[in-house]
Amino acid sequence: MGGTARTALLMGVLTGMLMAIGFIVGYLTDTPVVYTLGASVIFATIINLTTYWFADRWVLGLYRARIVTEEEEPVLHKIVERLSSRAHLPKPNVAVIPVETPNAFATGRSPSHSVVAVTQGAMKLLNEEELEGVLGHELAHIKNRDMLINTLAAIIGAVISYVMYFSLIGGRRERNDSGGLLALLGLFLIPFCAMLVRLAISRGREYGADEDGAMISKKPLALASALRKIERAVAGAPLRTGNPSTAPLFIVNPFRGINLLSLFSTHPPTELRIERLEEMSKRIEG
């Protein structure tokens, strides 16, 4: 399934699930369903359009990431320019995130409107080859048009969770019959359905970006080393700022713990990603 089709599917999923929530909320609060369904469609349309046009600004603002010039960060720009040329991509903007937890992500709506962002912690922890491996991974996401899909997946998790929370607050005041209990059960099941859809359409996304990124950088072992360092650092000091729903954007999940939002931010086990990169290196050398 191509990037455009996956994006359209995720937008449809968000719209459908918000409509389902609207139907349930209407039932729980004795509000005419046509009103809650209409409000859900309008809300979903606003979310979809806002995500498409302004997702990168939202993510960058959330983490206080700042677009940097070549004069400010010559090493980062040199790496990104070299890798973009190899990948036949327009050079994306480069941003630095002012946090010490090492990590990186790509965002934007298309290859010509994209940003790669690296934390200060990653710039301190990783050597130049490892940074090149990480940036190659992010450029692979850009080339495969994963950035908007990742952001939509993050927003699905956040929006569904917030809407559920406020729906439950309102719903508690109304129906207490068996139908109301079934409706409340439906509110709990909707996020799990969203998770399954997200996993189905994004299966192998990180593995694919690892492989494609390693081909771009020509340094699979450097990427493996970077993943190992980042995983170890995050395990010891997970990110305390930002929103857990944005975890799908990062090269390694910067948050730890199991909660409702983390269900929408599953990464493959870092150990397996490292093993695959090491096997890839052996194939290349052989």
pLDDT tens digits along 201-252:
665 789 999 999 999 999 999 999 999 999 999 999 999 888 877 888 899 9
Hey, CA dihedral for 139, 251, 194, 165, is it positive or negative?
negative
Section 38-58 average pLDDT:
83
Which residues are CB-contacts of 64 (< 8 A; sequence separation ≥ 6)?
97, 98
Report the pLDDT value the prediction gives residue 27, as an integer from 0 to 100.
Answer: 73
- In tens, the pLDDT along 100-148 reads 999 999 999 899 999 999 999 999 999 999 999 999 999 999 999 888 7
- With a cut of 80, say whether residue 279 has pLDDT above it: yes
- Alpha carbon distance 166, 174 (integer Å): 14
* Average pLDDT estimate for 253-273: 70
List the beta bridge partners of residue 257.
none
Residue 137 shares a structural domain with residue 222: yes
What confidence tier does 24 reach under pLDDT thresholds 50, 70, 90?
Answer: confident
Instruction: Identify whether residues 118 and 181 lie together within a single domain.
Output: no
| pLDDT at 197 exceeding the cut of 50 | yes
Q: Do 207 and 280 fall within a single domain?
A: yes
Query: What pLDDT is stored for residue 223 in this prediction?
Result: 98
- At which of 137, 159, 191 does a domain end? 191
- Would you say residue 192 has pLDDT above 80? no
Q: Quick one: what percent of the chain has pLDDT higher than 70?
A: 78
Does the pLDDT at position 262 exceed 50? no
Residue 23's pLDDT is: 77
Residue 285 has pLDDT above 60, yes or no: yes
Q: Are residues 207 and 128 in the same domain?
A: yes
For tokens 């903007």, the residue is 93
d(CA 205, CA 22): 31
136 neighbors 216 (Cβ within 8 angstroms): yes
| Predicted confidence (pLDDT) per residue in 155-182, tens digit | 666 666 666 666 555 554 455 555 567 7
Position 93 confidence tier, pLDDT thresholds 50, 70, 90:
very high
Judge if 109 and 209 occupy the same domain: yes
Do 125 and 210 fall into the same domain? yes
State which of 132, 159, 191 marks the end of a domain.
Answer: 191
> 69: Cβ–Cβ under 8 A, 6 or more apart, which residues?
77
115 and 236, same domain (yes or no): yes
Do 12 and 142 share a domain, yes or no? Answer: no
Does the residue 198 lie in any domain? no
Q: What is the mean pLDDT of the chain?
A: 83
Show the domain range for 187. 3-57+148-191
* Same domain, yes or no: 80 and 113: yes
pLDDT of residue 156: 67
Residue 158: per-residue pLDDT: 66
14 and 118 inside one domain: no
Q: What confidence category does residue 257 fall into, taking pLDDT thresholds of 50, 70 and 90?
A: low
Distance CA 255, CA 120 (A): 17
pLDDT confidence of residue 275: 97
Residue 260 has pLDDT above 60, yes or no: no
Both 141 and 111 in one domain: the answer is yes
Give which of 70, 154, 60 is closest to 116, Cα–Cα. 60
| Active site annotation includes 278 | no
Task: Tally the domains of the chain.
Answer: 2
Residue 196 belongs to a domain: no
Q: Which of 70, 72, 73, 138 is catalytic?
A: 138
CATH of the domain at 275: 3.30.2010.10
pLDDT of residue 244: 79
